[in-house]
Structure 1
Amino acid sequence: MTLILGIDPGSRITGYGVVRDTGRGCEYVASGCIRTGSGEMPERLQAVYRGVREVIRLHGPMTMGIEQVFMARNPDSALKLGQARGAAIVAAAEEGLVIAEYTATQVKQAIAGTGGADKQQVMMMVMHLLKLVQKPQIDASDALAIALCHAHHRQSLIPHGLTGAKRRGGRLRL
């Protein structure tokens, strides 16, 4: 059984979700949000870093899935998101986690069966897959979806001995 951490990075709210991959499915362990407040960016990044390290130390995951940054209409927002993502990645790397990155489309495809699913569809599938009776916060739901996506990708790579493979340009590299 492997504990997997999913991170939905944000400069104000970073969602996290922890699932246990049993090999026959996933079980819910924990989820929540790291709220950074509205202070200066260095303090918010420090809050993301510390919050992710605390989650890792509390639950002990071995691997982490994190959403990649996509360039939307606002480059400033993408830059801030990238910085928060970097803080979470450094926290996980310092704790020795294996880190995988997924696009939003990959996560939606893995969870809802379509890359065009909206947040509510993803949340409903997360609830169904993890047998949750209460709706998680939206950022936590997204993080759980990332963790589930990572679990599915890991399971598909295990029979081929590719769990250590790296993804570059949409291709697996050993």
Structure 2
Amino acid sequence: STAPTTPLAERLHAINQGLSQWIDQHQPDEISVERVFVQANRRSAMETAQAAGLALTLAAARNIPVTLHTPSEVKAAVTGSGRADKAQVGEMVRRLLRLKEVPSPADAADALALAICHIYQSSMRAKIVAAKQ
């Protein structure tokens, strides 16, 4: 997370460094990114899209497959409704992952919801089933 008052270039650099370190440390087989739609706040959407672009380029540089999921796909995968609100998504993430509390901040719950959606909709599901056997 970066402070909104930090200049955009510095924020993107910090995000790039953090993502790069995380990817190198955890070596994921796949990466999922939320597809950005133009929202009421165009500036926020633009900055979110720029950060998503960093994830895409870091994955491409490491030959890691990337899947994009729409916000409604993520909500539907987690709650059963593509129109669920943040509180509903957070609560279902808590239940699905058997957590004591809803993940905080809300971005953490969103990231976990994206991962859950990806597992449901991708080949990762088959990998998890095979690993349990």
Which interval holds the TM-score relative to the shorter structure? Answer: 0.7 to 0.9
Superposed CA offset, 1:62-101 (max 9, x none): 1111111111123222211111111122222223321000
RCO comparison, higher one (Cα < 8 Å, 6+) = 1
Superposed CA offset, 1:137-165 (max 9, x none): 2101100100110110115996xxxxxxx
The 3-state SS of whatever aligns with 1:134 is coil
Work out the percentage of aligned pairs sharing the same amino acid.
Answer: 38
- Equivalences, count: 124
Q: Could you tell me which residue of structure 1 aligns to residue 111 of structure 2?
A: 143
Superposed CA offset, 1:120-148 (max 9, x none): 11111111111112331210110010011
Superposed CA offset, 1:33-55 (max 9, x none): xx122321111111111111122
Q: Could you tell me which residue of structure 2 aligns to residue 50 of structure 1?
A: 17
The residue identity in structure 2 corresponding to 1:139 is D
Following the alignment from structure 1 to structure 2, what is the Cα–Cα distance between the partners of residues 131 and 51? 27
Superposed CA offset, 1:87-117 (max 9, x none): 1222222233210001100000111000111
Following the alignment from structure 1 to structure 2, what is the Cα–Cα distance between the partners of residues 63 and 114? 25
The residue identity in structure 1 corresponding to 2:108 is A
The 3-state SS of whatever aligns with 1:39 is coil
Q: Could you tell me which residue of structure 2 aligns to residue 109 of structure 1?
A: 76
Following the alignment from structure 1 to structure 2, what is the Cα–Cα distance between the partners of residues 56 and 83? 18
The answer to whether structure 1 residue 74 and structure 2 residue 41 are counterparts is: yes
Q: Could you tell me which residue of structure 1 aligns to residue 93 of structure 2?
A: 126
Any conservation in 2 of the 1:49–1:90 contact (CA below 8 Å)?
A: no
Q: 1:119 to 1:89 in 2, by over 3 A?
A: same
> Which runs of no fewer than 5 residues in structure 1 stay unpaired?
1-34, 159-174
RMSD, aligned α-carbons? 1.8
Aligned runs of 1:10-49 on 2, under 5 Å?
A: 35-37=1-3, 38-49=5-16
Report the TM-score when normalising by structure 1: 0.65
Structure 1 runs of 4+ with >4 Å offset = 155-158
Q: Which has the higher strand share?
A: 1
Any conservation in 2 of the 1:63–1:98 contact (CA below 8 Å)?
A: yes
Following the alignment from structure 2 to structure 1, what is the Cα–Cα distance between the partners of residues 109 and 124? 23
Q: Which has the higher helix share?
A: 2
> Which runs of no fewer than 5 residues in structure 2 stay unpaired?
127-133
The 3-state SS of whatever aligns with 2:52 is helix
